[in-house]
Amino acid sequence: MPHRVKAPQTANEQTMIPFSVLDLSPVTAGATPADAFRNTLELAQHAERLNYKRFWLAEHHNMAGIASAATSVVIGHVAGGTKTIRVGSGGIMLPNHAPLVIAEQFGTLASLYPGRIDLGLGRAPGTDQTTARALRRDLQSSAESFPDDVVELQRYFADPVPGQRILAVPGAGLQVPLWLLGSSLYSAQLAAALGLPFAFASHFAPDYMLTALQVYRAQFRPSATLDKPYAMVGVNLFAADTHEEAARLFTSLQQQFINLRRGTPGKLQPPVERLEASEMELSNVERALACTVLGDREAIREGLQSVIEQTGANELMLTAQIYDHRARLRSFEIGAQVRDELMAAK
């Protein structure tokens, strides 16, 4: 069972904030990536009807249970099947790519779907080191060049200047919104230095969440992009009509993390009544998934309110690795109902 994030007794009451969706386009046991893409689009349409603000997809490679490796392609699939919700990456692992290529890809998306595309950037490979080498060929200029690559990418989206020899076409002048993503202090510091919005990956690595948010806000420098800090935090959402059903759904994600730590990643498995794992494995998974809100609507309301109060987040990014697609749709429906209840209570 995950720890529920507890709010400090002195937490200030926060105004209501937007909720968004992070989807890993899960490939479930017995299904195919094509099934995952159909479910992803249906979830995005569902989220749009429920007034979620964004729908982001994540770059992972060589993982049988995650179909969104070609992230920009899946973003186009989702944006083409929706009308108003913002669609983007949470994130593109920039060290895997030349900045110009990403500028052209997201310049294309922003041209096709103006005013709706976000570009979240991470510096991890989104995979193991062997696969990272297959992606990049040369790991020497990977994470170390991340700050320079972000600045280069910014230049491609800026208005062209006289004498500029390399242009992103499309991309130049489109000012595609950039976000920095991270699970440590590094990206928090870089986002602060560049004056960019920051998203913390607390849904799978919560240990430095509060410290990173504090560093980001303390060191933030206003920029042409942003005049004050804007922080998003990730939360696993397992909402159902009963607490027991929510806890059962959660075992699929727990199995996924246990298998990943064992070096045997695979497709998202159906829920189980009992997890077959050692005490150490269960403890490690509990720690990694501590930023999980689980239960019926009342428990979800209490849990999300607690996260908002503790973190002071400007936005929540909710994610749900749920095996049954209908149950996943229901989880986000309950999340939207809770958001509306919290808003009405302000």
In the chain the domains, ranked by start, together with CATH numbers, are: 19-345 (3.20.20.30)
Look at residue 2 in the predicted model and tell me its pLDDT.
Answer: 44
Look at residue 92 in the predicted model and tell me its pLDDT.
Answer: 96
Q: Are 180 and 198 in contact (CB under 8 A)?
A: yes
Please give the residue that has the higher pLDDT: either 128 or 199.
Answer: 199
The pLDDT of 120-145, averaged and rounded, is: 69
- The CA distance from 208 to 197, in Å, is 17
302 by Cβ neighbours in 10 Å (0-12 / 13-18 / 19+) ranks as middle
Q: Are 67 and 25 in contact (CB under 8 A)?
A: yes
DSSP state of 274: S
Is 31's pLDDT higher than 80?
yes
The pLDDT of 106-128, averaged and rounded, is: 89
Give 314's pLDDT tier (boundaries 50, 70, 90).
very high
- The CA distance from 211 to 214, in Å, is 5
Look at residue 127 in the predicted model and tell me its pLDDT.
Answer: 56
Tokens of 112: 């096709």
Look at residue 154 in the predicted model and tell me its pLDDT.
Answer: 97
Is 78's pLDDT higher than 90?
yes
Q: Identify the bridge partners of residue 123 per DSSP, sorted by sequence position.
A: none
Is 81's pLDDT higher than 70?
yes
User: Which amino acid does the sequence have at 187?
Assistant: S
Is 130's pLDDT higher than 80?
no
Q: Are 288 and 234 in contact (CB under 8 A)?
A: no
- The CA distance from 270 to 143, in Å, is 35
Cα-to-chain-centroid distance, residue 74: 15
Give 60's pLDDT tier (boundaries 50, 70, 90).
very high
Task: Assess whether the previous peptide bond of 182 is cis (omega < 30° from 0).
Answer: no
- pLDDT > 90: percent of the chain: 86
DSSP state of 213: H
Per-residue pLDDT of 165-200, as tens digits, reads: 999 999 999 999 999 999 999 999 999 999 999 999
Residue 124 burial (CB count, 10 A): 22
Q: Are 212 and 188 in contact (CB under 8 A)?
A: yes
The pLDDT of 201-218, averaged and rounded, is: 96
Is 32's pLDDT higher than 50?
yes
Look at residue 346 in the predicted model and tell me its pLDDT.
Answer: 73
- The CA distance from 227 to 247, in Å, is 41
The pLDDT of 19-33, averaged and rounded, is: 98
- The CA distance from 54 to 222, in Å, is 24
Give 5's pLDDT tier (boundaries 50, 70, 90).
very low
Looking up tokens 């870089």 gives: 190
Per-residue pLDDT of 134-177, as tens digits, reads: 766 565 556 678 999 999 999 999 999 999 999 999 999 999 99
Is 323's pLDDT higher than 80?
yes
